[in-house]
Amino acid sequence: MELSALVGAVEPPQLLPARLQMAFTLGFHIILVPFGVAFTFMMLICQYRGLRRGDEQALVLARRWSQVAAVLFAVGAVSGTVLTFELGILWPGLMGNYGAAFGFPFAIEGLFFFLEAIFMAIYIYGWKRLPAWPHFFTGVVVTLSGIGGTASVIAANSWMNQPAGIVMRDGRVVDVVPSEVFFNGAFWWETVHMLLAAYIVAGFGVAGIYAWGLLKGRHDYYHRMGFLVPFTVAAIAMPLQFLVGDTIARQVFDREPAKFAAIELVPTTGDHVPETLGGILIDGQVRYGIDIPDAASILAGFSPSTEIQGLDAIPAEVRPDDSLVNIVHLAFDVMVGTATLLLLLAAWFAWLWWRRREVPTNRWFLRGASVAGLVALVSLESGWVVTEVGRQPWTVVGLLLTEDAVTTEGNLWPLFAAVLAIYVCVAAGAVVVLRGMRRRWQQAGTDAVAVPYGPERAPATGPRTDGVDDA
């Protein structure tokens, strides 16, 4: 890449709408991912308990959760498909030049997604007439495919952060080392980070709904278990996430210095770099932040004399704008801040559980727990902002500038408007559907429950096939 040729280049007009649309559709899709990847695991825990101990309430929970998972999985599947279209329509420069290199992890993801879709269908529609344990194992396949699929997508994404395994000639990819592409430098930790995030978001999100019920005085066994299973999963994942996140930060320090400089808001290279909480960059100067002396250097290299490359070490032609740096830095602060709150909540839960061995009744704890899902979602979204915006101005770090990846075709604003409109409808529809489910379940109560397994006992009230009305 001739950097000098880029000096003074005008940003293509498609860049802004393309980035906004990609950010919006990815941000939307990522909300649904935890429910395909991690929610199914919690469902299986309940089902396992139900089958092992003959616990009918646990089976009811598992079955109802599977219906929620079905709706969210459907929306996730179609919004994920839109992303595959967008990769080509919005970023032909990326797919045309590097599709041969980093495209194949998506093929592997397609494989996992195929398995997931097949077994998800068998699981969801198999409650009535499949034998119990085979049915349970179809759910296990769903959970495992979710993990495999996540790893594959992250392989492609992390490759854009730390590209490896390609041979270039005349600006074209002429050969590929598949294993180096897939297991690139950023692959393992980013994958674990995303998987833990999925379990945290789904766990806190689902538990929050039952925490709300507990607050409202519905302190029965059903609500206690509905709270306990997902919250425990998330509470266990939370401290692990801190360890993983910390490791990743140090890895970014080693291998993606530009991103690290933006994350830590370091304008000039040097040692004894303070950790800046909040604050923004204006004309190359950090303003309004709270500095913790030496902390950034210590966190990066365990010593205050650790030198950190600043933004000034990036060649001026490819140095990100102040606004991009600010977005990355503030998103990072939000991610760590929200995660810290969640860690405290998890610790509080551990403390309460250790003392009483029962679901906490402390109202402030339950209030916290009922919003923990939203907080976790904010954390997840800001984490993605850090990694995606933190790569700018590169799409593939060091190889492809975002402005060269974007399409030059057509006016993208109408397309973005259409996407926005349709996604708003889909989101509203999903909310209506989920609220409707909850209302029906509340009316049905938890005592009058049909055993999910075995042949239908009573004649069904109608030839409905989705099972929504018989739980």
Partner 1 sequence: MSTLIAVVLFVGVIAYALFGGADFGAGFWDLTAGGRRRGHRTRELINSSVSPVWEANHTWLVFCLVTIWTGFPQAFTAITTTLYLPLGLAALGIVARGAGFAFRHALADHPLERISGATFALSSVLTPFFFGTVAGGIASGRVPSAGHGDPLTSWLNPTSFLGGGLAITVCAYLAAVFLTGQARRDAHTAMEEAFRRRALGAGIFAGVVAVAGVFVLHADSPRLFRRLSGVGAPLLIISALCGLAALLLLRRGRPLVVRTLAAIAVAAVVAGWGVAQYPYLLGTHLTIGEGAAPTATLWVLFVVSCVAAALIVPSLFLLYTLQLRRRLG
Q: Minimum Å distance from CB 147 to partner 1?
A: 15
Q: Between 44 and 419, whose beta carbon lies closer to partner 1?
A: 419
Q: Minimum Å distance from CB 301 to partner 1?
A: 37
Task: Give residues 436-455 in contact with partner 1 (rule: CB under 8 A).
Answer: 436-437
What CA–CA distance (Å, rounded) separates 339 from 281? 24
Q: Does 51 bind partner 1 (CB under 8 A)?
A: no
DSSP 18-56: HHHHHHHHHHHHHHHHHHHHTHHHHHHHHHHHHHHHT-H
Contacts of 47 (CB under 8 A, 6+ apart): 58, 59, 62, 136, 139
Q: Between 128 and 224, whose beta carbon lies closer to partner 1?
A: 128
Phi, psi of 276 (to 5 degrees): -100, 115
Q: Are strands 290-292 and 400-401 parallel, antiparallel or unpaired?
A: unpaired
Task: Give residues 92-121 in contact with partner 1 (rule: CB under 8 A).
Answer: 92-93, 95-101, 103-104, 106-111, 113-115, 117-121
Q: Between 16 and 433, whose beta carbon lies closer to partner 1?
A: 433
Sign, Cα dihedral of 49, 53, 58, 62: positive
Q: Are strands 280-282 and 285-287 parallel, antiparallel or unpaired?
A: antiparallel
Contacts of 432 (CB under 8 A, 6+ apart): none
What CA–CA distance (Å, rounded) separates 154 from 300? 24
String of b and e for 249-267 (b: at least 16 CB within 10 Å)? bebbbeebbbbbbbbbbbb
Task: Find out whether 210 and 193 touch, Cβ atoms under 8 Å.
Answer: no
Q: Which two tokens stand for residue 233?
A: 């999963």
Q: Minimum Å distance from CB 103 to partner 1?
A: 3
Q: Minimum Å distance from CB 440 to partner 1?
A: 9
Q: Between 321 and 409, whose beta carbon lies closer to partner 1?
A: 409
Q: Between 209 and 277, whose beta carbon lies closer to partner 1?
A: 209
Q: Minimum Å distance from CB 75 to partner 1?
A: 6
Q: Does 423 bind partner 1 (CB under 8 A)?
A: yes
Q: Where does 18-163 show beta strands of DSSP type E?
A: none
Kindly write out the interface string for residues 225-264 of this chain, putting x where it contacts partner 1 by CB under 8 A and - elsewhere.
Answer: ----------------------------------------
Candidate segments 1-9, 282-290, 332-340, 419-427, binder of partner 1 by CB under 8 A: 419-427
Task: Find out whether 407 and 413 touch, Cβ atoms under 8 Å.
Answer: no
Q: Minimum Å distance from CB 18 to partner 1?
A: 12
Q: Where does 68-113 show beta strands of DSSP type E?
A: none
Binding test (CB under 8 A) with partner 1, winner from 305, 409, 442, 451? 409
Q: Does 220 bind partner 1 (CB under 8 A)?
A: no
Q: Minimum Å distance from CB 22 to partner 1?
A: 13
Element spanning 287, H or E: strand 285-287
> Helix or strand or coil: residue 306?
coil
Q: Does 418 bind partner 1 (CB under 8 A)?
A: yes
Query: How many positions of this chain bind partner 1 (CB under 8 A)?
Result: 80
Q: Does 415 bind partner 1 (CB under 8 A)?
A: yes
> Helix or strand or coil: residue 172?
strand
Task: Give residues 142-201 in contact with partner 1 (rule: CB under 8 A).
Answer: 173-178
Phi, psi of 55 (to 5 degrees): -85, 100
Binding test (CB under 8 A) with partner 1, winner from 171, 410, 445, 454? 410
Q: Between 79 and 191, whose beta carbon lies closer to partner 1?
A: 79
Binding test (CB under 8 A) with partner 1, winner from 42, 70, 196, 202? 70
Q: Between 78 and 344, whose beta carbon lies closer to partner 1?
A: 78
Task: Give residues 280-319 in contact with partner 1 (rule: CB under 8 A).
Answer: none
What CA–CA distance (Å, rounded) separates 54 from 74? 31
Q: Does 73 bind partner 1 (CB under 8 A)?
A: yes
Task: Give residues 369-408 in contact with partner 1 (rule: CB under 8 A).
Answer: 407-408
Q: Does 424 bind partner 1 (CB under 8 A)?
A: no
Q: Minimum Å distance from CB 422 to partner 1?
A: 6
Task: Find out whether 400 and 94 touch, Cβ atoms under 8 Å.
Answer: yes
Binding test (CB under 8 A) with partner 1, winner from 6, 45, 122, 444? 122
Task: Find out whether 206 and 370 touch, Cβ atoms under 8 Å.
Answer: no
